[in-house]
Amino acid sequence: MIPVVCGVDTSTQSCKVEFFALEDGRRIAGASAAHPPVAPPRSEQNPQAWWDAFVGAFRSALAQAGPVSVRAISVAGQCHGMVPLDASGAVIRDAKLWNDTTTDAELRALVERIGPEQLIAATGSLPTAAFTLSKVAWFAAHEPENFARLATILLPHDYLTYRLTGAFATDRSEASGTGYFDPSANRYLIDHLALVDDTRDWAAMLPEVLAPDGVAGTTTAVAMTELGLSEPVLVSAGGGDQHASALGLGIAEGDAVFAFGTSGVVFSTTPEPVRDPRGFVNGVANLTGGFLPLVCTLNGAKVIDTFARLMGTDHDELSALALQAGQEGPVLAAFLDGERTPNRPLATGLLADLTTETTREQLARAAYEGVVFGLVAGLAHFERCGVRTDGEVIAIGGAARSAATRQILADALGKPVHLVDAPEAVARGAAVQAAAVLGGTPIMELAERWKPERRVAAEPGLVSSDRFARYAEVAAVDSLDRSRA
């Protein structure tokens, strides 16, 4: 039997399970299962659906893998969401997700009380409505009877770890996206939660924050039965999705990763904490003991999905149209579901410069630009904060499979764009962590050993970077404000 480790990506849209050979990191098998669809501003899911999807995907991958021995599991997933449990460990209500913007009023009140500068200094980030702190405050204000039952707060990936082991555990990458954790000092900021309710013992309600190679526990008998396992399996700390992705890609300081999924994210890695006094860059922790400065936008691949639907085409044709558009035409401020960066949760999209001469090709290009340019603006904030961006540019995520996405990114940055031989980078990074908890090899050494191949997928030169300047004007991203439209 082949010894394998299991990496899990429990995302907004689905659960992906991948098995990798412990000896050399080669992929053995993989499967996925869908999660219930969500649509902001109210974005909620039943955590039981995550477990059901995980079990289904795990069993499918196990059957596909043949004779293997699963030695360790690591769960990475969507960040920020709040899973409220009662004293018996049962879920009280559906989890509010990262892209639920109904908690903005509570967030703004807390930011005003704590102070934006103090929040950035303490947590590394200026929280938006995505952060867990806002969900907790919303819960207290809007559902007091349910809030009174609250005994434990978990993040989405923590919930699967809990169902696997019975332990309440998390890691510093996920904890640093809550708004009540200091990733530099590795400690909870209980005083932030006390502003929501100063009568609760918050310290007793939060999961233990494990080290990057920490072990949450072993699989319970119930979990083993559901998953079809014959022997107990170690379960590691897990982590946030982009944080695991960075590990799976084996990125180095100076590299910039553009992730085009449900959300849009640009991130890098640094050994030291990053503090953005303007609050655009989130200075969260990574999975190796360092830090993962990132900028996240709310509007990712769904923007492209929307324009494909409106134009009555599929993604392949939409991409081909965009590449034929030339230099002229409208630009899109793609704030279709509100926006997180810049922090405009009530905003809507704006298509500017329409004329009677506008073509289908130009509309298609505007859709891709709206997604890509939002993240290019994020990279400018990295540079303003002193984060190195002199390395390689890597594109990942579903929308990165589009030639238009890659070409527009290369044109905007004036640099080649690379793809990697790792279609499920999050699950791959989780598997690296799972292998590390078995001991013997440091996590960074494993990440380098399992690093996937990169290839240049787009060179700059098709369209002038001047189009980004017009986008910045229309979207008002050059003003560096934190206003809420």
| Ranges of H-type helices in 217-289 | 221-227, 241-249
Which residues, 6+ apart, have CB-to-CB distance to 235 below 8 Å? 72, 73, 74, 75, 161, 164, 165, 215, 216, 217, 218, 219
Among the listed residues 100, 171, 182, 241, the single catalytic one is 241
241 classed as catalytic: yes
Comparing CA positions, the residue from 381, 382, 355 lying closest to residue 366 is 355
**φ and ψ at residue 281, rounded to 5 degrees:** -90, 130
Partners of 294 in the beta sheet?
Answer: 267, 282
Q: Tell me, what DSSP letter sits at residue 398?
A: G
Helix (H) or strand (E) holding 218: strand 215-218
| One-letter amino acid of 253 | E
Rounded to the nearest 5 percent, the helix, strand and coil shares of the chain are 35, 25, 40
Between CA 141 and CA 132 the distance in angstroms is 14
In 10 A of CB 340, how many CB atoms? 25
User: To the nearest 10°, the Cα dihedral for 170, 172, 174, 175?
Assistant: 80
Residue 38, helix vs strand vs coil? coil
In 10 A of CB 113, how many CB atoms? 10
| Ranges of H-type helices in 385-484 | 403-413, 425-436, 443-449, 466-475
| One-letter amino acid of 2 | I
Between CA 286 and CA 243 the distance in angstroms is 5
Say if CB 336 and CB 476 are below 8 A apart: no
Q: Crossing angle of helices 132-142/104-114, nearest 10°? A: 110
Active site residues: 241
